[in-house]
Amino acid sequence: MTASTRSSGASSPGGTRPEALLVGQSGGPTPVINSSLAGVIAGARGRIPAVLGLRHGIEGALADQVVSLTDLSEGDLAALRRTPAAALGSCRHKLAPPDVERVLDTFRRHNVRWFCYIGGNDSMDTCARLEGAARDAGYPLSVYGVPKTIDNDLVGTDHCPGYGSAARYWATTTQEVTRDLAAMRSYDRVLIMECAGRNAGWLTAATALYRRDERDGPHVLLLPEMIFDQGSFLAQVEHTLARVGYCVVAVAETLRDASGAYVAQSSAGVDRFGHPIVTAVAETLAQLVTAELGVKARANKPGTLQRTSMGYVSAVDQDEAFGAGHEAARQLAAGASGEMVGLVRREPGAYACDFGSVPLTEVANSERRLPPSFVHGGAGGAMEITAAFREYALPLLGPAPDPHFQLA
């Protein structure tokens, strides 16, 4: 489906442009970031005269790449919700002081009165800077953030849209590969799965969410919140092989040892936000297992697939992502500014979430790791998720998958 979009500039040559809400997407895509975009557009309808989209996030403002989203059909919005990656394009641009004036120039040119940014903590920092700069310049601009990250590491919200789908990807595929190992028994004995998540273990821990009993993987969890100890790791693998016959390991790509060094063999420096770029920790551990224990070990690194696969989307996550975008547009239209939508879990009772808000400055550049109540250390340094984590995370994954056939 191809939407009929046009340059915002071309739509009213020389005339007065209507007051517009401008929306952008930022950071690594998630399977539901386009659902949030659809939510922003739907929420702006009837409240705000025009909706514009920024190509490649704030970089689109520097290059004046702005498109009109006002005329998208209901069918376009429905297709948008099911589209992988970031339909407007995304970026990882860190806003430098000289950039800010150029961004505001673009905003003025398109008569932008409301700016909505769908992204993570770096993006909320960008929002906060733009709001401050506009205020200083006397330019009437309202700014609102929509949380987005598969890493679930934003503060001020119960969880982040994007996490439920990526967690469902990991919970489901970990059981799928566990069955593969159980079927292949003595041939493929150890499998190491490499999970994203920056410094937080939310996704690595999610691999355990659909485990039904102690034979199901993951059997070893290597979280970024812990210190990697080679002896303890190999002992856990050996113990699992003796107990179950095969072993599934879930490892965070950012795992570090006691010296603070990454366990991965190669570290290719830092990206422009200062986040280290690390590759191939799963392959490193597989080679370690083979060398030290003499058993065949494989590494799986789905990489990009964990943030793009529409085959494992959580319906709850997709709906909440839409709702968060809708709420941001509604808040902007009502005059709010300087905040990000936060998801607030209704307690007690069956799972439900309301939308709240959190100041952008509280979210910007902070990160939320797995709390101690969600994991505990067992014998020999083994890490395990707790019942509290299951209770927290399982509702975010939506309906559980089909029960599988099982031989008694």
Identify which of residues 231 and 311 has a Cβ nearer to a copy of itself in the complex. Answer: 311
- Told to check if 10 binds a copy of itself by CB under 8 A, we report no
Task: Kindly determine how many residues on this chain lie close enough to bind a copy of itself according to the rule CB under 8 A.
Answer: 74
- Told to check if 195 binds a copy of itself by CB under 8 A, we report no
Identify which of residues 85 and 124 has a Cβ nearer to a copy of itself in the complex. Answer: 85
Among 24, 39, 43, 89, binds a copy of itself (CB under 8 A): 89
User: Catalytic residue positions?
Assistant: 151
Nearest-angstrom CA–CA distance, 108 and 288: 57
- Told to check if 204 binds a copy of itself by CB under 8 A, we report no
Identify which of residues 111 and 287 has a Cβ nearer to a copy of itself in the complex. Answer: 287
Least Å distance, CB 7 to a copy of itself, is 10
3-state SS record for 329-346: HHHHHCCCCCEEEEEEEC
What part of residues 280-319 is at the interface with a copy of itself (CB under 8 A)? 280, 283, 286-287, 290, 296, 298-305, 307-312
What part of residues 241-280 is at the interface with a copy of itself (CB under 8 A)? 266, 268, 271, 277, 279-280
What part of residues 375-404 is at the interface with a copy of itself (CB under 8 A)? 402-404
What part of residues 23-62 is at the interface with a copy of itself (CB under 8 A)? 25, 28-29, 34, 53, 56
- Told to check if 187 binds a copy of itself by CB under 8 A, we report yes
Sign of CA dihedral 187, 189, 195, 198: negative
CA atoms within 13 A on the CB side of 172: 20
Q: In terms of C-beta density within 10 A (0-12 exposed, 13-18 middle, 19 or more buried), how is residue 40 classed?
A: buried
Of 129-137, 170-178, 325-333, 341-349, which part binds a copy of itself (CB under 8 A)?
170-178
| Cα 165 to the center of its chain, rounded Å | 9
Neighbours of 257 (CB within 10 A): 12
Which residues touch 148 (CB under 8 Å, ≥6 apart)?
A: 25, 26, 27, 30, 33, 36, 118, 119, 120, 123, 160, 161, 162, 321
Beta strands in 95-164 (DSSP E): 112-119, 142-147
| Cα 369 to the center of its chain, rounded Å | 14
- Find the helix or strand (DSSP H, E) in which 196 lies: none
- Told to check if 340 binds a copy of itself by CB under 8 A, we report no
Nearest-angstrom CA–CA distance, 333 and 133: 21
Identify which of residues 199 and 290 has a Cβ nearer to a copy of itself in the complex. Answer: 290
Least Å distance, CB 313 to a copy of itself, is 9
Least Å distance, CB 213 to a copy of itself, is 12
Among 17, 18, 111, 182, binds a copy of itself (CB under 8 A): 182
Least Å distance, CB 310 to a copy of itself, is 7
Nearest-angstrom CA–CA distance, 300 and 256: 19
Which residues touch 113 (CB under 8 Å, ≥6 apart)?
A: 19, 20, 21, 140, 141, 142
- Told to check if 199 binds a copy of itself by CB under 8 A, we report no
Nearest-angstrom CA–CA distance, 333 and 337: 10
Identify which of residues 182 and 382 has a Cβ nearer to a copy of itself in the complex. Answer: 182
What part of residues 63-82 is at the interface with a copy of itself (CB under 8 A)? 67, 76, 79-80, 82
Identify which of residues 213 and 347 has a Cβ nearer to a copy of itself in the complex. Answer: 213
Please give the structure tokens belonging to residue 55: 């190509």
Among 87, 128, 206, 209, binds a copy of itself (CB under 8 A): 87
